[in-house]
Amino acid sequence: MRTRPMRFLAVLAIFGLLTACSDGDDDTATTDETTTTAAAMDDTETTGAETDDSSMEEASDIVDTAVAAGDFETLVTAVQAAGLEETLRGDGPFTVFAPTDEAFAALPAGTLDTLLEDREGDLAGILTYHVVSGEVLAADVVGLDGEAVTTVNGATFTVNVDGENVSLADAAGNTVNVVATDVTADNGVIHVIDGVLLPG
């Protein structure tokens, strides 16, 4: 499966196979209140985020692409703190379901600070829960309705396609929406989500 980007850098963008394992300008990779439609995903187009060719040329791997997008500062910071940056700059391919800065900001007060203090514990586990090994494009995600997807973390989340809306249900019982898709990088793809997935 593939997904893409807000302020924490907690997942997605992610986490490289912990042990194995958007591009665009600020206004090109935003999480409007729009949700990615199944039809849009099927056409493998980006919803709510157009990519700028010139920016894409500069941002190659997943980390650089997330930095260039401008909406994933928190995610990038978290990835670096957890020691996963090098992995996500590796060959891949990886599919990252990336929460935006806003998604991280919506976590209960103090949650992010606590996670950053336990860099190799819960933080790494949550970040790798946003990463799927291999390149999973939007068109593939739409075909996974009702299926459990195994992440690099080892835990799974479930894909739900309801008419034009595509959402992911995590192991903790939360549901997040896919708001933009197929943000490509040299070593994989990013799908932006409007919440942080929790492995349980």
pLDDT digits (tens, 9 = 90+) for 168-177: 999 999 999 9
pLDDT at 129 over 60: yes
| Residue 1 predicted with pLDDT over 70 | no
CB 47, CB 191: distance < 8 Å: no
- Please state, in angstroms and rounded to a whole number, the distance separating the CA atoms of residues 69 and 102: 14
pLDDT of residue 58: 52
Residue 146 clears pLDDT 70, i.e. is over it: yes
Of 2, 5, 181, 157, nearest in space to 93 by CA: 2
Residue 188 clears pLDDT 90, i.e. is over it: yes
8 A C-beta contact, residue 75 and residue 66: yes
Provide mean pLDDT across the span 60-86. 94
pLDDT of residue 163: 80
CA–CA separation, 173 vs 199, rounded Å?
Answer: 9
Q: Which residue is associated with the tokens 């894409």?
A: 56
pLDDT at 64: 95
Rounded CA-CA distance 163/185 in Å is 29
Structure-model confidence comparison of residues 90 and 28, the more confident one: 90
Residues in the chain: 200
| Mean of pLDDT values over 102-124 | 88
Average pLDDT of every residue of the chain: 77
Structure tokens at 200: 């349980």
What integer pLDDT is reported at residue 119 of this predicted model? 75
Mean pLDDT along residues 44-53? 40
CA 111 from chain centre, in angstroms, equals: 19
List the strands of the sheet with 148-150, edge to edge. 131-133, 94-99, 188-193, 175-185, 165-169, 156-162, 148-150
pTM of the model: 0.72
CA atoms 112, 191, 31, 55: torsion sign: positive
